[in-house]
Every structure is written in C-alpha cells, then in structure tokens.
Amino acid sequence: MLITIIVINNRLVCENRNTLSSKEAAINIDVKSAEYMQCEAEVRELKRVVQALRNKLELAQCEKEDAVQAATATATQEIAQLKVTIVSLREALENAFMERDNQVQLTLAGSTAEIAAFKDTVANLREMLELAKIEKENAVQQVQQSANVEIAQLQAIIQAIREQLEKSL
C-alpha cells in the first residue's frame, strides 16, 4: 500500500492508492522534497531560535546569579560594617558610662570629704563657742564676785564710818 501526499491549493492531501502515474510520482517527489526542505529549514530555524533562547536564558540566569552574588556581597559588607559600627558605639557608650560613674564617684568622694571637713569645722566652732561661753560666764561670775566682795567691803566701810559718826555725834 502506498500513501501519497499531494499539495492542492497549498494544502496537503493524503491519498491511499496502490499505483501512481509517473507524472503524479514526479510531482509527489518534488512536493515531498520541497516540503522536506521547508520542514528541515523550519526545524533548523526552530533549533537556532531554541539555541538563541537557551543562550539568552543561560545569560539571564548568569546575570541573575551575578546580581544575587553582588547583592549578597554588598549586604555582607554592609552587615560587617554595621557590626563594626555597633561594636564601636557599644564600646563608646560603655566608656561614657564608666567615665560618668568615675566622675560620680570622684564627686561623691570629694563631697564626702568636704562634708566631713565641714562637720569637723562645725564641731570645732561649737566647741570653741562653748569654751568662749564658759569663759565669759566665768569672767562674769568673777567680775560679779569681785563686785560683791567690793560691795561688801564698801558696805563694811560705810558701816564702820556710820558707827564712827554715831559715836562722834
């Protein structure tokens, strides 16, 4: 059995015949050769297009991988820089806290010493004031005592003069 493919009005027509005329066979071979060459050309063109698309896809994938690697490298560098910055800022903050604590301790120690000196001064001044007050009271008592003694002496003299006057009168 022989299957014939014929092009009629730009359409392929398949026939199932046992015999072909020589003219039909020649046309059939020419059509087959032309169709075959056209199909081969289309296949070659499709293979070229597929290869070109495959190359573009591979190039796009490479570019994508390169972009991802570049972004990853950039992000990694930024992360490393940020970590370094964080560490230095943390150290600076800790140093500032330590410096502040030292200043507070120094100020507190200075204030404590100054307060202790003021307390000592106040205690000394109170003691001196008490001593001065006691000395003044003692001096007043001595003056009063002396005045009392003198008054008593003067009263005794006055009494003696009175008695003498009374005797003489």
User: pLDDT tens digits for 115-161?
Assistant: 999 999 999 999 999 999 999 999 999 999 998 999 999 999 999 99
User: pLDDT tens digits for 62-116?
Assistant: 999 999 999 999 999 999 999 999 999 999 999 999 999 999 998 988 888 889 9
Question: 80 or 42: which carries more pLDDT confidence?
Answer: 80
Domain regions of the chain by residue span: 2-107+109-122
pTM metric for this prediction: 0.43
Vertex 113, ends 107 and 115: CA angle to 5°?
A: 95
Under DSSP, the state recorded for 18 is: S
